[in-house]
Amino acid sequence: MSGNTITQSVTPSANTAAALLNATAVGANPAVATSARQTLAQSRAARELGLKRGEFDLAVRLGRIRTVPDEGGGGRRVARAEIDRVMSEDGFPDGLKERVKAVGTSEGAALMDVTAARFTRFARLGFVVPVKFYLNRYRAVVWLYLAEELRQFAEAEENAPLLNGRTPEGLRDQLDAGLDLRARNWRGRHVGFLLRQTEDPWARAAAVASLLDPAQVAEIVADPYERAYMSRFDPERTTHGAPDSPAAHVAARIMTAEDPDEISWLRSDLANTLQEARAHRRAPRPTPTPRTAPAVSRERTQLIEEQRQSIEERRHSGDAQQASVALWASDGLRPRDALRSADGRQSTGVRQQAEARRTIDEPECPRRLFGWLRRRNP
C-alpha cells in the first residue's frame, strides 16, 4: 500500500544571486523568494504545458508530472526543471495528452471493441481500474478510465478469451453475487497517489485514515491528541455538491472502505504507519500550568503553624513544672502547697492551650459570645 515518493529537489537556477538581491530589497525571505522563482503554480504550469486543468491534475496523480511542496506554506508547485523535462519528451504535447486521456464506459467499450455491458462486467470484476469519477445531474456515478490502459488490456493476447468468448462460470457467479470492485480499486489508486505526495509519517497515516470510517480510526488511534494532530494532515477531498447533500453522501460512501477485508487491511496499515509516526515525532500535548496557592491561604497556613508551635512550647513548659514539684518540696514547701502552685500554673497553661486551639479551630466565632458564656457558667 505504500507508494514511492515522486517529489524531487529543486535545482538552483542561474539567476540565484539576482533573486537574492530582489528578495532582500523588498524585505522578503531570500530562500522563499528564490524557491518561488524556480517553481511555478500548478495553473501556470498547466498553461505552459498546453493542458487543461483536469488533464494536468490527472497527470500529477499518475506521476507523469512531479510536484514539490511550497516552502512558503501554500499548495504544491511544479519546478521549472520538471517543466523542461516534460517538454523535452518525444511526442510532446500530443503524447502527454494521450497518456492522460480519460474515457467513460461507451468510449472505453469502443476502444476495446466490446459491448458496453461486457465492458461494465470487466470493470466490476476489476480487470480495468477507474482513474476518477464524478456524479451526473441524476446523482449517478460516472466512472472514467485511462484510454492507454484500456488499449493495453485489449492488445494483450491472454485477454482474448475474455474479449471474444463467454464469461467463465466462476466470474459469472461473482457477478450474480453482486461483486463490484470499481469503488475499491479507485480507493486503492487514490491512496497510492496520496502516499506518493509526502514522506512525513503523520501525513501518510492521515492518508490511510482518510479511507476509514471515523469510528474505525478512533479504535486504532485511541489518543485524542494524536487524532487531533493527525487531522492537521488530512488530504483535501474533492467536493461533490453542497455539504450534507445527497451527492455529497454518495461521494463519501465511495471514498470510505466498506468491504471487511479492505477495512482489515487499512486498519493494519494505519497501525503500522502510526508506529512509524510516533517513532519519528511525538504528537504535541498541552503543557500543564502549575497552580499556585493564593496569598491569603499561605498567610493563614503560616499563622496556624506559628500557633501550633506556641502550643507545643507551652505543653513542654507544663511538663517541666510537674517535674519541679519535687524540687519545691526539698526546699521546705509542703507537698500540698507545691502541688497547688504547680496545678495553678498547669491549669493556666492548659487554659491558654485551649484558647489557642479554639482560636485555630474556630477563627470566625465572635468573642462576645464566649465572654457571655463564661459569665453565665463560671
Predicted pLDDT at 252? 92
pLDDT of residue 306: 77
Polymer length of the chain: 378
Query: How many structural domains is the chain composed of?
Result: 4
Residue 298 forms part of a structural domain: no
Cβ–Cβ < 8 Å for 195, 1: yes
Q: pTM of the full predicted structure?
A: 0.67
Do 136 and 176 sit in the same domain of this protein?
yes
Residues 6+ apart with CB under 8 A from 156: none
Q: Are residues 87 and 31 in the same domain?
A: yes
Cis peptide before 93, with omega less than 30 degrees from 0? yes
Instruction: State the pLDDT at residue 303.
Output: 72
Q: Is residue 64 part of a domain?
A: yes
Kindly state whether residues 95 and 135 are assigned to the same domain: no
Q: Does the pLDDT of residue 188 top 80, yes or no? A: yes
Give the per-residue pLDDT at 177: 95
325 in the same domain as 264: no
Provide the pLDDT for residue 308.
74
Question: In the numeric block, which cell numbers belong to residue 207?
Answer: 492518508
Give the domain-ending residue among 231, 262, 280. Answer: 280
Q: Which of 37, 10, 12, 13 is nearest to 23 (CA)?
A: 37
202, 239: one domain: yes
Residue 31: per-residue pLDDT:
47
Q: Is residue 138 part of a domain?
A: yes
| Confidence check: pLDDT of 151 > 50 | yes
CA distance 205 to 231: 10
The verdict on residue 263 lying in a domain is yes
Quick one: pLDDT at residue 9? 36
Do 143 and 154 reside in the same domain of the chain?
yes
- Give residue 4's pLDDT band: very low, low, confident or very high (50, 70, 90): very low
pLDDT at 354 over 80: no
**Cell triple for 106:** 461507451
φ and ψ at 325, to 5 degrees?
A: -65, -40
Determine the pLDDT at residue 243.
82
| Any domain includes 175 | yes
Last residue of a domain, one of 150, 180, 210: 180
145-149, 332-336, 341-345, range with greatest mean pLDDT? 145-149
Q: Which three cell numbers stand for residue 292?
A: 499556585
Q: Which amino acid is residue 329, in one-letter code?
A: A
Same domain, 225 and 276: yes
> Domain check: are 91 and 159 in the same one?
no
With cut-offs at 50, 70 and 90, classify the pLDDT of residue 6.
Answer: very low
Q: Is there a single domain that holds both residue 226 and residue 268?
A: yes
Question: Are 251 and 227 part of one and the same domain?
Answer: yes
Residue 216 belongs to a domain: yes
What is the mean predicted confidence (pLDDT) over 63-77? 85
| Domain final residue pick, 61, 77, 99 | 99
Q: Are residues 171 and 221 in the same domain?
A: no
- Please give the Cα distance from 103 to 25 (Å, whole number): 50
Domain containing residue 267: 198-280
Digit-coded pLDDT (tens) for 202-229: 999 999 999 999 999 999 999 999 999 9
pLDDT at 312 over 70: yes
Is 349 found in the same domain as 378? yes
What does the mean pLDDT of the chain come to? 79
Q: Tell whether 296 is covered by a domain.
A: no
- pLDDT, residue 154, reads 95
Per-residue model confidence (pLDDT) at position 38: 87
Nearest Cα residue to 66 out of 206, 196, 205: 196
DSSP H/E element including 252: helix 246-254
- Confidence check: pLDDT of 70 > 70: yes
Residue 155 lies in a domain: yes
pLDDT at 13 over 50: no
- Which pLDDT score is estimated for 20? 35
